[in-house]
Structure 1
Amino acid sequence: MNPRLRIGASSWSAPSWEGVFYPPGTPPADFLAYYAGRLDTVEVDATFYRIPGEKMVDAWRERTPPGFVFAAKFPQTITREKLLVECAQECGAFLKVMDRLGDKLGPLLLQFRYFRKDEFPDPKPFLDRLEVLLAGLPRGRRYAVEVRNKSFVNTRLLDLLRRNGVALALIDHPWFFGIEQLMRRSDVLTAEFAYVRWLGDRQAIERGTTRWDRLIVDRTRDMGRWIPALRTILDRGLTIYGYFNNHYAGYAIGSIDTFRSLWDGSG
Structure 2
Amino acid sequence: MANRAYFIGTSGWSYLSFRGIFYPPELKSKDWLAFYAQYFNTVELNVTFYRTPKATTFQKWYEETPQGFVFSLKAPKVITHIKKLKDIEDSLKEFLKSFKPLKEKAKVLLFQFPPSLKYERGLCEAFLKLLPTEEFKIVVEIRNQSFHDPEWADLLREYGICLCFSDCGKRYPSWYEVKTADFLYFRMHGSKELYVSNYEEEELVALKNKIEAYNPSEAYIYFDNTALGYAVANALRLKELCQSELRIT
Same fold (TM over 0.5): yes
Aligned to 1:209: none
Higher helix share: 1
1:99–1:161 Cα change, 3 Å: farther
Aligned to 1:104: 105
Aligned mates of 2:243, 2:237 — CA distance in 1: 10
Query: Aligned to 1:244, which of 215, 223, 227?
Result: 223
Aligned mates of 2:180, 2:25 — CA distance in 1: 43
1:177–1:81 Cα change, 3 Å: closer
Aligned mates of 2:229, 2:25 — CA distance in 1: 20
Alignment gaps of 5+ in structure 1? 183-187, 207-215
1:218–1:60 Cα change, 3 Å: closer
Aligned mates of 1:202, 1:92 — CA distance in 2: 37
TM-score (structure 1 length as normaliser):
0.81
1:56–1:247 Cα change, 3 Å: closer
Are positions 1:56 and 2:57 aligned together? yes
Aligned mates of 1:147, 1:177 — CA distance in 2: 5
Percent identity over paired residues: 33
Aligned to 2:201: 220
Aligned to 1:159: 154
TM-score (structure 2 length as normaliser):
0.86
Aligned to 1:210: none
* Counterpart contact for 1:40–1:68, Cα < 8 Å: yes
Are positions 1:176 and 2:166 aligned together? no
AA aligned to 1:18 is: R
Aligned mates of 2:58, 2:123 — CA distance in 1: 29
CA offset at residue 217 of structure 1? 3.6
1:100–1:218 Cα change, 3 Å: closer
Alignment gaps of 5+ in structure 2? 245-249
Q: How far does the alpha carbon of each residue in 1:211-267 deviate from its partner, in whole angstroms, 9 at most, with x for none?
A: xxxxx645333333322220023x3x42001100125875211111332354469xx
Q: How far does the alpha carbon of each residue in 1:116-175 deviate from its partner, in whole angstroms, 9 at most, with x for none?
A: xxx64xx22xx4222112212233211100002233121221111111111000112214
Aligned mates of 1:113, 1:241 — CA distance in 2: 21
Aligned to 1:185: none
Partner of 2:7: helix, strand, or coil? strand
Higher relative contact order (CA 8 A, sep 6+): 2
* Counterpart contact for 1:202–1:248, Cα < 8 Å: no
Query: Residues 1-267 of structure 1 correspond to what in structure 2 (within 5 A)?
Result: 4-115=5-116, 120=118, 123-124=119-120, 127-138=121-132, 139-173=134-168, 174=170, 175-176=172-173, 182=177, 188-200=178-190, 217=198, 219-233=200-214, 235=215, 237-247=216-226, 250-263=229-242
Stretch moving more, 146-155 or 66-75: 146-155
Aligned mates of 2:182, 2:243 — CA distance in 1: 25
Partner of 2:52: helix, strand, or coil? coil
1:101–1:153 Cα change, 3 Å: same
* Counterpart contact for 1:249–1:255, Cα < 8 Å: no
